[in-house]
Structure 1
Amino acid sequence: MSAAKTCRKNLHFLYLLSLICLLTATNSDELQILLNIKTEFQKSKINVFDSWDPNNSVCNFTGITCNADGSIKEIDLSKNRLVGAPPFDSICQLQSLEKLSLGSNFLHGRVTEDLKNCVRLQYLDLGNNFFSGSIPDLSSIGRLQFLYMNKSGFSGTFPWNSLENMTSLVALSVGDNPFDPTPFPTEVVKLKQLNWLYLSNCSIEGQIPAGIGNLTELINLELALNHLSGKIPPEIAKLRKLWQFELYDNDLTGKLPVGFGNLTSLEMFDASRNYLEGDLSELRFLTQLVSLQLLKNEFSGQVPAEFGDFERLVNLSLYKNKLTGPLPQTLGLWTDFNFIDVSENFLTGPIPPNMCKNGKMTELLMLQNKFTGEIPASYANCTTLTRFRVSNNSLSGVVPSGIWGLPNINIIDIALNDLEGPISSDIKNAKALGQLNAANNRLSGELPPEVSKALALVAIDLSYNQFSGEIPTTIGELKQLGRLHLQYNMLSGTIPNSIGSCDSLSDVNMAHNSLSGPIPLSLGSLPILNSLNLSENQLFGRIPVSLSSLRLNLLDLSNNRLTGTIPESLSIKAYNGSFAGNNGLCSQNVKYFRRCSSNCRVSRELRTLIICFTVGSFALVVSLGCFFYSRKREKNHDRSLKEDSWDVKPFHLLSFTEDEILDSIKQENLIGKGGSGNVYKVVLANGEKLAVKHIWNIDSGSQRKTRSSTPMQPKHAGKSPEFDAEVQTLASIRHVNVVKLYCSITSEDSSLLVYEYLENGSLWDRLHTCMEMALDWEARYEIAVGAAKGLEYLHHGCERPVIHRDVKSSNILLDEFLKPRIADFGLAKIVQATLSKDSVHIIAGTLGYIAPEYGYTYKVNVKSDVYSFGVVLMELVTGRRPIEPEYGENKDIVKWVCSKVNGRESVLGIVDSNISETYKEEAIKVLKIAILCTTRLPALRPSMRSVVQMLEDAGPSKLVGISVGRDGRKKEGLGGEGEV
């Protein structure tokens, strides 16, 4: 071998050796970088890093992909529950890194400027995390093709200028971040390679630029939940490859542009909740549509007949437009049709019969139109249906029998039609049925006893029909029933005593029937009954004293044949007119009734006992007998309380003993009766005043005979769940606007809760029953702010959010300075970590304050409290009760207020006359906040934290105009419907 060849061979060997040494050094550096990254994520309790061992090759690490030379090309740790702040300073030292995917984790902190050093990146995913602060300038990463930063908590201004260097960008997703408001970024329409653009919910405003037509490669365009205005540009018609187009929740106006029908690849189109108008003719060419959502716009004209030929259409929502004419009768014939909502239009003709032909339909919503004809028999076999709502139309004929017994149905709503026939016994199969509304029809026959097998029923409204016969005694099996409306029928017989087993009832209306017999004593045992109307019947006998323990906002027993004494606790202004038309009644306190002949106010049972022993005796003997018997009962009761062994659990430093409290639980100190117990005023020796709630345990088997006869024992009260809920909630709460619980005192038989005493009663009393002590606006405003702060603390200031579930003016107590306290936590729920977000499945609340979603999902969350607080704000501004006859049938204060906000004068007209002219403008500001709080969609209601801020901004020195559009957003102007 020549010397030259030997030299060249040695040089080649040395080159390879140096290259191997260089690669070894590089791999060693990258190993150390990955180990540093692992250290940063040590808090992540996952096993993804188990393979990240110094003894392994980095190319074998989980989530790592290498180039052929062994350098790191990709890091993919998405969806791995990572916790911490990504060390971008280390990550971007990987010189060959082309893909970094950290999406869908629990990453937090700020994205540092070090990210710009990842200059070779082509794919960057930081989406679905919990970062804060702004996104740094990304101009140096010019090779990016995929950029995902959506829903990650970023704020400030997005660096749109960075996009000018990213000419190869294919996917851009930065939506669902609270960026600063900005016009539509012109840099975006220059990215001609884009096929995926997600800019929803990131504070973009103004018009969609004509340049959007440059993005001809787009298959997905999402611009929803912004503040876009103006018309949809006609250039949109150039996007022939578009598969999904989302524009919902903006302020767009005008018609669908000419040429929109050219988007023949479009499968998903949602432009809901805008102000679009004109007809739908441009859509008749979109034969590939799978889902069309145009709800809450101003579209008019007819639904194109071509929709009936669309072979892929599965979901159709045209709710709340101005559409006329018939629906295509072949609609849904060709597909696995799933969902239709065309409610609140002016549609006519029959219901298309074939939408459930393939047995996949879940929701049929066609209420408030002008549909005619019969309900197609085919839907009686549609076992997949969960919601069937065709109310407020002109439908006729007999309801198909199988409709009543659909096994998955949640809601049957056929009210306000001309339908006939009975409720069939098939209803026993409706195991999921929660709401049955068949009011205002011509339905007849007897109520089937099988209705008791529909155990999920929460609401029954069969009013204004022709039902006859007796109310089934099996009704007591409906343990979740909250509302029972049977008024204006031809029902006869007695009200079954079993109704007292329906523990969740809050609203009962049986007025205008032919019911007879006595009022059941068991009605008084319903723990949350709030409204009771038995008027215009033939009921006789005495008014049960047990009704005195109820917390009723509405009581109407008028125009019956009742006799005897009106119980003293019901003889209050709130029930004026409740007993009219019962000539046999007498009262010591109610005007227009004859005075009762005896001043001995004892129970019906006790009076019977006395009469048995005193027939033929003198009145003096009767009086003495009453006196001594009452004293004996009190003595026995006091002795029985003291005989018990009591357990005291203090939650604050106490200045009293248990004996001081026990000595004060007597009849003369009784100041109120509620659904879960009696309340007593206790004055300590030092002059301090306390309020004590006394709760008897329903599950106690050892109640003494003497105790069972005491008038202080509410039959329906109990330790669980009200006692446990109230103690668990209040024991840990420390807030100036939440009532203070000093301690609990419990025994085997009963329990006592000791609170601070509030001098001025409840807000309900001051607004609705003590008109001589009317509140001025300054006091009302301070009460609103204070109560809001109390709820804000419950929702945001506790370890886990506390849902009150019964926010109302009677549960807002006032101290001597009229400072408010949130009270009565008997229905409260502490949100558990295992629940989905913050919702709870409950049967609770008070008529007039219950959020509308309860009727659809039977769930409440913190936004349900916000709705109830909005009702309280309306009470403060208008001085009216949540439910009043003036509002009309099936209306409450929310609907009434929103019907009055169509002009300045009408708004001023609903402000309480007790509020002086000086403050009416301020009152209107608070009314607008109330409308925001009572927006129909929970997601659009503000948080209580936001409510507090808005109320403070609406104070005397900060009058900021807030007006609400139909989408529930703040707008300029006087106000709007507020989604009610």
Structure 2
Amino acid sequence: MIRFILVLLLLLLILLRFPCPLHSLTQDGLSLLEARSLLSYPSSSPLSSWNPLDPTPCSWPRVSCSSSSSASPLVTSLDLSNADLSGPFPLPLCHLPSLSSLDLSNNSINSSLPSGIDACRALVSLNLTENLLSGSIPGSLANIPGIRLLDLSYNSLSGGFPDEFARFASLEFFSVVSNFLNGTVPDFLGNITSLRHLQLAYNPFVPSKLPAKLGNLTNVEELWLSGCALFGEIPDRFGNLKKLLSLDLSSNSLTGVIPASLAGLSSIYQIELFGNSLHGGLPVELANLTTLRRLDVSRNQLSGSIPPELCELQLSSLNLMENRFEGTIPENIANSRNLYELKVYNNSLTGSLPSNLGSNSPLCYIDVSFNHFYGEIPPNLCAKGSLEELILISNRFSGIIPPSLGDCQSLIRLRLTNNQLSGILPEGLWGLPHLSLLDLRENFFSGNMPDGIRGAKNLSRLDVSHNMFSGDVPDGIGSLSSLAELFAGTNNFTGQIPGSIVDLGMLSTLDLHENELSGPIPEGISALSKLNELNLANNRLSGGIPPEMGSLTVLNYLDLSMNFLTEGIPLQLQNLRLSFLNLSYNQLSGDIPEAYAKDMYSNSFLGNLGLCRDQTGSCSNTSEGRRGLKYSWLLSLIFVLAAVVLVVGITWFYCNYQNFKKSNRGIAISKWRSFHKLGFSGLEITESFKEDNVIGSGASGKVYKVELSNGEVVAVKKLQVSQKKYAAVPEPVKDGFQVEVEMLGKIRHKNIVRLLCCFNNGDCKMLVYEYMPNGSLGDVLHGSKASALDWQTRLRIALDAAEGLSYLHHDCVPPIIHRDIKSNNILLDGEYCAKVADFGLAKIIGAGKGDESMSMVSGSYGYIAPEYAYTLRVNEKSDIYSFGVVILELVTGRKPIDPAFGENDLVKWVQTTLDQKGMEQVIDPSFDPAFKGEIRRVLEIGLLCTQTAPASRPAMRKVAKLLAEAAGRGGGNRSRNPKKEGKLTPYMYEDGADDAGLGQSVHVAEAENWS
């Protein structure tokens, strides 16, 4: 008996010590815990708070249950969005019998969707947007009987649409935006007549016609088919879509005209056909769309005039940018009570703007840049007090700025560059409280800059250059705490530079060249710690160069030429790392600091007769030298020589003065010198130019390997110099030497080859780079060392190069397009890390113009994007195509052009071989099969980059991210959903006419879908 009692007590103690709470948890709770066990998540995730001790999961975070009065309410909704989850799709959730809503959006679910997902029989809403899902879309999704919302957007799904999708009976919302679907847009989607929203945008579909059968979707309200590789005409059957509110067919290759049948869509609110190949004009039948509010047909080839009947509608937004429209803007558009946006830039429109524009409508955004408008600016643009942006760049507007704009408190951006405007600005305009950008460059404005400018507290960029402003630069300018760029060159400003200018702590550019400013350079200039460019040339400044200027650690450009500066050059200037220095034509004396007392800087000090050229000693004072002369014949000889020098100098100065004044860059490119601290001289470089040291050659010259006395090894590109002499011209065409110096001199990135210094004495041009021991990717990949490039090394090379290009496209201001991306311009260091090189063809992206026309095709055959070869129009998407070819080279091991391809190139060969024979016949046979999944993923990225339609190619930032994910380095925030942010276009420039020059900030791609 005692033993029995002891056993009972022992069992009781065990039960008390180790209770069994899971036995009391409902079945739904057990299923949730099973699903949780398959996922990874941080401690901050809501899943960490799911307590198995609770009898029901209905109190757990993100879990909703039915309101049933039964003892065991059932889970009906699960919202795990933004929960930092990773791992496979948690199929145990399908064991929840009443689960009708499942939201796993914005996580890192990184598997394919299981075919057994149709076990979630009760689902009505499934949201998996912004994950890392891969593989194909399972047809079993169509077996879920009541599903109405299916959102698979912003993943990495591939393949085509399953035939089973034609069986959806209740589906209302379907989105696969921004995946890697590479089939076609199928006809059978037109069978899902319950659809209200169909979003297929931005997938690398096989080019196909826009399915006419989509005209059967009589309940559809939104069709978003941007970037779907569609061609042909818009089907007339789309006129059956009577409930359609938004039609977006932008960024395809559609042709023809807008069908008149669309005029019957009385419910339509928005038509967007951005970036197609529509010809002809706007049909008058559009005027039948009486409820039309937003019309965007930008980036097409539409011509003719704007129909007055269209402008009779109560439009809220009219976007006709980048077409071929002619004629005038109809006056009756000013009668619209809803118009808030008018963008017609880059057309051939003429005449004056409607005189009553803005009187009846809440205008917010106006951009009519790059047309042929003339006349005065309408006086009532801000009559409703809502105008934020007025962009009128490069027209022929004349007259004064309307006084009413001086009272426009809502104004944020005003750009009037390159017109014929004149007169005195409304005083209130200078001090508008919300103004962030005031650009008045290249007009005929006069008058003073008032002290009231201190009221423009948000002003970040002020450009009044190339006008006729006069008077003092007001002391109030020092109150603009947000000012980053001040351009006031080529005016008639007088007086001293205000001392308050040193209070502009955010200032990066100060350009006051070619005025009549006098007095000293302000004391305390060292406070401008972010100053990158200082141009005070062509004024009447006096006094010495402040030694404190040597503490401006980020100063890159310094031009103090053509002033009356005296005294010596401060030794502290040696602390600066200048890519441009010009102190010419002052009255400086004494020694040139040792860092600059070299032949390479000789042209930086012209016209300073008191400066010593010999760095080993000091200059003798001229009067002392004369007193010390003992021989009269020597004195006479000096006077004769001085007279000759004076006559020659005056003659030279007279011939070159005007051209010199107009040059912001100074005398010549030879002022570009060292970009890093060097331990060698130019003489040591030139002595190494032997044929035995040649490691590469091309059309521009030869590349030498130079081993220096200090043990350092560098690569030197010696450019061929044309013997033909040209007459001086105001705007010389930049050669490859100038381009490469200007580009690489400013760039600092681990995946961009470093330019150490350059030499140019007219007869010899050299660029000195860091040496890359393993040469170019092209030489290694297609040469005897190819075996050294296993798959993991190639993937790392692709990622390195992508990050370098991403820096050029997204982090440089302004962005830079390389224009000659190829495997031979990707160099490899000793560890096979990759760096982008050879910027001889690189180009600053014209801000706001989207792309630019070249006079000829530049680049390398096999890498040139199709639209560049045919249209000579180039933008960052051209680089992305070329980089896609490099990715295909890495995956296949083949050159971009090969006799085995016949008339095709590598891109066409890969596409054709994949379709006919599969991936095994495409990839390099030397690869380890264990990496097949990664290889497939990278191959898909290469194909996406080489899509025919530029808008279908992802931005470089997206490419780098996708490669990082393929290499197992993914994570973090995924791309934003532009649809949810109100922007639909793949690459839209905030100002269609932003044409900021070199070194000026550019606001581009702010609504980049792929960014």
**Cα distance in 2, alignment partners of residues 941 and 407 from structure 1:** 40
Task: State the partner residue of 1:760.
Answer: 714
SS in structure 2 at match of 1:570: coil
Which of 771, 779, 783 lines up with 1:815 in the alignment? Answer: 771
Cα distance, 1:520 vs structure 2: 2.4
* Contact 2:591 2:617 (C-alpha < 8 Å) held by counterparts: no
Task: State the partner residue of 1:942.
Answer: 880
Identity of aligned residues (%): 28
Cα distance, 1:850 vs structure 2: 11
Task: State the partner residue of 1:358.
Answer: 384
Which of 185, 208, 225 lines up with 1:182 in the alignment? Answer: 208
SS in structure 2 at match of 1:178: coil
SS in structure 1 at match of 2:238: helix
Cα distance, 1:330 vs structure 2: 2.1
TM-score by length of 1: 0.62
Cα distance, 1:280 vs structure 2: 0.9
Task: State the partner residue of 1:327.
Answer: 353
Distance 1:965 1:111, change over 3 A: closer
Q: Tell me which moved more, 872-881 or 434-443.
A: 872-881
Which of 867, 876, 892 lines up with 2:816 in the alignment? Answer: 867
> For each residue in 1:74-99, what CA deviation from the matched residue of structure 2 results, as whole angstroms up to 9, or x when unmatched?
4353758584658765552355x472
**Cα distance in 1, alignment partners of residues 577 and 303 from structure 2:** 49
* Contact 1:155 1:179 (C-alpha < 8 Å) held by counterparts: yes
Letter of the 1:473 partner, please give it. Answer: G
> For each residue in 1:335-388, what CA deviation from the matched residue of structure 2 results, as whole angstroms up to 9, or x when unmatched?
332111111111112212222233222211112111122112222222222211
* Contact 2:77 2:102 (C-alpha < 8 Å) held by counterparts: no
Cα distance, 1:514 vs structure 2: 1.4
Matched, 1:600 2:549: no
> For each residue in 1:918-940, what CA deviation from the matched residue of structure 2 results, as whole angstroms up to 9, or x when unmatched?
xx96699699999999967x788
Root mean square deviation of aligned Cα: 5.2
Distance 1:320 1:425, change over 3 A: same
Matched, 1:162 2:188: yes
Distance 1:576 1:965, change over 3 A: farther
TM-score by length of 2: 0.60
**Cα distance in 1, alignment partners of residues 367 and 884 from structure 2:** 32
Letter of the 1:428 partner, please give it. Answer: R
Task: State the partner residue of 2:153.
Answer: 128
Task: State the partner residue of 1:272.
Answer: 298
Task: State the partner residue of 1:138.
Answer: 164
SS in structure 1 at match of 2:119: coil
**Cα distance in 2, alignment partners of residues 473 and 966 from structure 1:** 54
Task: State the partner residue of 1:153.
Answer: 179
Task: State the partner residue of 2:133.
Answer: 108
Which of 826, 848, 855 lines up with 1:902 in the alignment? Answer: 855
Letter of the 2:713 partner, please give it. Answer: E
Unaligned 5+ segments in structure 1 are: 1-27, 65-69, 589-598, 617-671, 682-755, 772-779, 796-803, 822-844, 852-859, 883-890, 908-919, 971-976
* Contact 2:443 2:466 (C-alpha < 8 Å) held by counterparts: yes
> For each residue in 1:555-614, what CA deviation from the matched residue of structure 2 results, as whole angstroms up to 9, or x when unmatched?
2222222223333432445545332222333313xxxxxxxxxx7348x9xx99xx9xxx
**Cα distance in 2, alignment partners of residues 279 and 932 from structure 1:** 24
Which of 51, 57, 75 lines up with 2:73 in the alignment? Answer: 57
SS in structure 1 at match of 2:477: helix
Q: Tell me which moved more, 196-205 or 459-468.
A: 196-205
Matched, 1:412 2:438: yes
Distance 1:106 1:933, change over 3 A: farther
Matched, 1:421 2:421: no
Q: Which residues of 2 match residues 819-834 of structure 1 at below 5 A?
A: 819=775
Q: Whose relative contact order is higher, 1 or 2, with alpha carbons under 8 Å and at least 6 apart?
A: 2
**Cα distance in 1, alignment partners of residues 399 and 470 from structure 2:** 19
Distance 1:518 1:900, change over 3 A: farther
Cα distance, 1:429 vs structure 2: 2.2
Cα distance, 1:155 vs structure 2: 1.4
The number of aligned residues is 713
Cα distance, 1:311 vs structure 2: 0.3
SS in structure 1 at match of 2:880: coil
Cα distance, 1:227 vs structure 2: 2.7
**Cα distance in 1, alignment partners of residues 177 and 289 from structure 2:** 29
**Cα distance in 1, alignment partners of residues 869 and 544 from structure 2:** 42
Q: Tell me which moved more, 406-415 or 117-126.
A: 117-126
Matched, 1:433 2:371: no
Task: State the partner residue of 2:596.
Answer: 570
* Contact 1:762 1:813 (C-alpha < 8 Å) held by counterparts: yes
SS in structure 2 at match of 1:484: strand
SS in structure 2 at match of 1:302: coil
Distance 1:522 1:61, change over 3 A: closer
**Cα distance in 1, alignment partners of residues 873 and 525 from structure 2:** 32
Q: Tell me which moved more, 409-418 or 201-210.
A: 201-210
* Contact 2:852 2:874 (C-alpha < 8 Å) held by counterparts: no
SS in structure 1 at match of 2:261: helix
Cα distance, 1:950 vs structure 2: 8.8
Letter of the 1:172 partner, please give it. Answer: L
Letter of the 1:457 partner, please give it. Answer: L
Distance 1:163 1:577, change over 3 A: same
Letter of the 1:300 partner, please give it. Answer: E
Cα distance, 1:468 vs structure 2: 0.2
Which of 235, 238, 248 lines up with 1:212 in the alignment? Answer: 238
Cα distance, 1:329 vs structure 2: 2.4
Unaligned 5+ segments in structure 2 are: 1-25, 48-59, 81-95, 629-671, 681-709, 724-735, 759-766, 778-803, 827-835, 900-904, 908-944, 954-991, 996-1011
**Cα distance in 1, alignment partners of residues 866 and 497 from structure 2:** 42
> For each residue in 1:781-803, what CA deviation from the matched residue of structure 2 results, as whole angstroms up to 9, or x when unmatched?
9xx9xx99xx99968xxxxxxxx
Cα distance, 1:402 vs structure 2: 1.9
Cα distance, 1:422 vs structure 2: 1.3
Letter of the 1:815 partner, please give it. Answer: Y
Cα distance, 1:276 vs structure 2: 1.7
Task: State the partner residue of 1:18.
Answer: none
> For each residue in 1:516-572, what CA deviation from the matched residue of structure 2 results, as whole angstroms up to 9, or x when unmatched?
222222333322222222222222222333333433332222222222333343244
Q: Which residues of 2 match residues 69-108 of structure 1 at below 5 A?
A: 72=98, 74-77=100-103, 83=109, 91-93=117-119, 97=122, 99-104=124-129, 106=131, 108=133
* Contact 1:126 1:149 (C-alpha < 8 Å) held by counterparts: yes
* Contact 1:808 1:869 (C-alpha < 8 Å) held by counterparts: no
Distance 1:81 1:963, change over 3 A: closer
**Cα distance in 1, alignment partners of residues 197 and 247 from structure 2:** 10
Cα distance, 1:954 vs structure 2: 8.5
SS in structure 1 at match of 2:327: strand
Matched, 1:317 2:343: yes
